[in-house]
């Protein structure tokens, strides 16, 4: 799988059951965002030819894999879950080193992959269809799930093991084969995941890993007529391109994209609990979650109290290397992401929002070689400001005052995205009204906008997604299609809707 060099370890693609170099001979570096001097390894800068080799391998493997009984497929996945659990700590440390988020969070990322793999393995014996009475005598009617073929899996860097598990594991249990392109910022965690699937006993060609850039690797997957499903998680802008590229060949396309999620803090809220939730929702993973609570709408009667506590708690967060057990917030994932954060902080100032906490990058002392930024809070933000409308993907939270519950709902819904929302209140009527009226795919009561569990559907509305859902049994709908079957044992021609059965 790897080749030791004097400078760093070189990692390879995984195609048709073998770890091989790209035909290009080119490599790209993977560095620690907490210390750019730390070279984690070099990875294959793949070409369209590499992608085609992977697609061809997956297509050949599909002819065998689709015929393996689903419970047998599931047994391999169950073994993979066991291996993930056994190696959880090592996998988490690799992830923190390449992605930056604190060790507790990367342990959670790996745990989510464990949970998803165990859960979906159970679906190997539960891919239920329907049996229904026919309208005609001596006729049997039923439906079954069937796999689609080769699945192109394109994943982001913020959850480099959890999100691949949401896609790859359901695809496999349904009988599909996979070509997997991970984010170039986090290829090691993806490789570790694929290595475990290999060790668990997947036949060659069933899962293939090709590293490299989106323009070369991703686009080659999108335009291939041999790929039947594309599952993508990333920005709305790129998701639109994915949809356009895949449309001519009528692929099934699953998109999970941006979010601008809101926590609504009402006048009857437990303010201390709300501050806890907003701190975790806004600054967990350095704000680099599609479900991050980047907007907080606070009722005017508790606004001053909330801002005071939230600001003090954010100022007290310890920023640093995620492998340090004292660290509470790690770096941005890259220099480019840090620059995006800094750009939006400048925009917020220009728009007239007031800085309550943070606002500066941290590039001195022990943090000088990393991509660190202070936890940042803007207060007195108008709902129409760019910092309250556009996804920043960093540790920047906008606090917006409101006069009523109804105004909070209106502000919450007035963005292009619809992933997650939350309300802090003691009023059950308000809670249920907000559940109904918030146009999001996920909703929380007295909890932040992050914390989804693997056995319920994950996804959003509007520009967050295109209607499909990940996780839970809903994931099976992305990676399978329905076949309706009719068995006529009457021994004669019976015409549905024309010939009616005698009473």
Which residues are known to be catalytic?
256, 290
Q: Which two tokens stand for residue 441?
A: 């795919």
Report d(CA 357, CA 315) in Å as an integer.
Answer: 6
Calculate the alpha carbon distances from 309 to 60, 170, 264, 405 in Å.
59, 43, 16, 22
Q: Which two tokens stand for residue 459?
A: 């996804």
Secondary structure E strands in 170-278: 177-181, 207-209, 227-233, 252-256, 262-265
Q: Are 105 and 284 in contact (CB under 8 A)?
A: yes
Report d(CA 93, CA 22) in Å as an integer.
Answer: 27
237 HSE (CA, 13 A, CB side): 2
Report d(CA 207, CA 215) in Å as an integer.
Answer: 21
Report d(CA 47, CA 51) in Å as an integer.
Answer: 7
Report d(CA 91, CA 501) in Å as an integer.
Answer: 62
Report d(CA 333, CA 320) in Å as an integer.
Answer: 13
Secondary structure E strands in 50-176: 130-133, 139-146, 150-154
Q: What are phi and psi of 260, to 5 degrees?
A: -140, 75
Closest C-alpha among 80, 334, 116, 75 to residue 192: 80
Residues 6+ apart with CB under 8 A from 114: 81, 84, 85, 88
Q: How far is CA 161 from the centre of its chain?
A: 9
Report d(CA 80, CA 121) in Å as an integer.
Answer: 10
Secondary structure E strands in 239-291: 252-256, 262-265
DSSP classification of residue 124: G
Assign 86 to helix, strand or coil: helix
HEC string for 360-411: CEECCHHHCCCCEECCEEEECCCCCCHHHCCCCCCCEEEEEEECCHHHHHHH
Task: State the Cα torsion 89-197-168-23 to the nearest 10°.
Answer: 110
Q: Which two tokens stand for residue 427?
A: 């009023």
234-262 in b/e form (b: 16+ CB < 10 A) is: bebebbebbbebbeeeebbbbbbbbbbbb
Residue with tokens 């499903």: 229
């Amino acid at each position: 799988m790897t080749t030791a060099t004097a400078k760093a370890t070189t990692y390879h693609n995984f195609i048709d059951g073998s770890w091989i170099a790209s035909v290009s001979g080119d490599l790209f570096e993977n560095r620690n965002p907490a210390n750019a001097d730390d070279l984690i390894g070099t990875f294959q800068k793949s070409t369209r030819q590499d992608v085609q080799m992977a697609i061809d391998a997956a297509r050949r493997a599909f002819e065998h894999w689709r015929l393996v009984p689903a419970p047998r497929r599931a047994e391999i996945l169950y073994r993979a879950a066991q291996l993930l659990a056994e190696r959880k700590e090592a996998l988490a440390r690799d992830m923190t080193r390449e992605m930056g988020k604190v060790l507790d969070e990367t342990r959670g990322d790996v745990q989510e992959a464990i949970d998803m793999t165990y859960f979906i393995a159970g679906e190997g014996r539960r891919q239920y269809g329907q049996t229904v009475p026919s309208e005609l005598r001596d006729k049997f009617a039923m439906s079954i799930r069937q796999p689609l073929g080769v699945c192109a899996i394109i994943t982001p860097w913020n959850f480099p093991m959890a999100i691949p598990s949401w896609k790859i594991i359901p695809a496999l249990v349904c009988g599909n084969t996979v070509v997997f392109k991970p984010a170039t910022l986090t290829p090691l965690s993806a490789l570790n995941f694929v290595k475990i699937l290999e060790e668990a006993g997947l036949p060659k060609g069933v899962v293939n890993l090709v590293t490299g850039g989106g323009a070369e690797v991703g686009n080659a997957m999108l335009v291939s007529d041999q790929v039947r499903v594309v599952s993508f998680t990333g920005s709305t802008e790129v998701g639109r391109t994915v949809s356009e590229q895949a449309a001519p060949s009528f692929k099934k396309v699953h998109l999970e994209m941006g979010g601008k999620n809101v926590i609504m803090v009402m006048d009857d809220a437990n303010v201390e609990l709300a501050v806890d939730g907003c701190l975790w929702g806004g600054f967990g993973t350095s704000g680099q979650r599609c479900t991050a609570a980047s907007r907080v709408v606070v009722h005017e009667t508790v606004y001053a109290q909330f801002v005071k506590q939230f600001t003090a708690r954010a100022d007290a967060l310890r920023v640093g290397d995620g492998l340090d057990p004292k660290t509470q917030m790690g770096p941005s994932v890259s220099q480019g992401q840090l620059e995006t954060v800094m750009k939006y902080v400048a925009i917020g100032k220009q728009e007239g929002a007031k800085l309550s906490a943070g606002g500066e990058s941290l590039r001195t002392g022990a943090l000088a070689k990393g991509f660190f930024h202070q936890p940042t809070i803007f207060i007195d933000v108008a709902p129409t400001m760019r910092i309250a409308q556009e996804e920043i993907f960093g540790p920047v939270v906008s606090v917006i005052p409101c006069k009523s519950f109804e105004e909070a709902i209106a502000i919450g819904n007035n963005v292009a995205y619809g992933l997650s929302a939350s309300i802090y209140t003691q009023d059950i009527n308000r809670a249920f009204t907000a559940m109904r009226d918030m146009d999001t795919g996920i909703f929380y009561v007295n909890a932040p906008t992050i914390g989804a569990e693997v056995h319920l559907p994950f996804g959003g509305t509007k520009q967050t997604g295109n209607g499909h859902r990940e996780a839970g049994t809903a994931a099976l709908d992305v990676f399978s299609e329905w076949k309706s079957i009719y068995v006529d044992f009457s021994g004669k021609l019976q015409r549905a809707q024309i010939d009616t059965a005698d009473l």
